[in-house]
Structure 1
Amino acid sequence: MRVWHSLWLRRIDTKIAAVQQRGAEQKRGERNRPPTPDGIVELGIGNGRPDTEVHVDGCYAAGTRQRAVSRHEAQRLLAVGLRACSHCHPDTELGILDCPLAHSASSAELRRKVTGLLEAPQLTPA
């Protein structure tokens, strides 16, 4: 009987230690979780995978090919004419009142504009 009780106590202690370790790992994971992105860009298919549409993070209409972007980059992409999602309205969420239509420029033209913006020197106020 004593042997049986000692075996069960050892099993219970092992389970308690496992649950405590799992809880500590979960807390550590929540602490170290990267911040959620402000937006996501849906990527096209084919050579170079051009950007096709800007979404708010968590939009149900975003496809599976996507990358996270910062608020600044999402605003820049919308400003050069990348299409905003008609379901989540990232332009409204980001405070952009007037967005140029994406179909006014081809994806190659948009890529050149975005690349030019990325390489442009930052102006600092005097």
Structure 2
Amino acid sequence: MKQTVFAAIFGMMAVSAMAQEVVTTPFNGSFEDATFAVENAIVGEGLVIDFTSHVGEMLNRTGADVGSDVKIFDAADIFLFCSAQVSREVMEVNPMNIAHCPYSIFVADQGGEVVIGHRTYPQGEMQKVQALLDGIVQSALE
């Protein structure tokens, strides 16, 4: 019975996670400047970047392998990190908020148009994460 309830909760969370939207903000500068600014803004919050995913490079490298000649991004990186303080706050309210961790901010360049973005989070306690990410993006834009 417990496993069924747990599976149902995770299933609902997966559907909810897929329904998330994305917030993007144009960056007035190069991709390299934007990634540098995002890295500095994350570290400036006292956070550690756990992983940088070079999604743009991977997609460009593997396109032919999967039968595509479409170039989606000129460059795209995703920075993954967590906040011990904010994560604890949101998971003390609902331990299943673990599904939203780690948090991420991406930088993407499509034809010279550079954007910084992140996914949106549900109402309630997860708005603390939303505010953290919004603040980091704003710092990167300054």
- Structure-1-length-normalised TM-score: 0.26
Q: Which has the higher helix share?
A: 2
More RCO (CA 8 Å, sep 6+): 2
More strand by share: 2
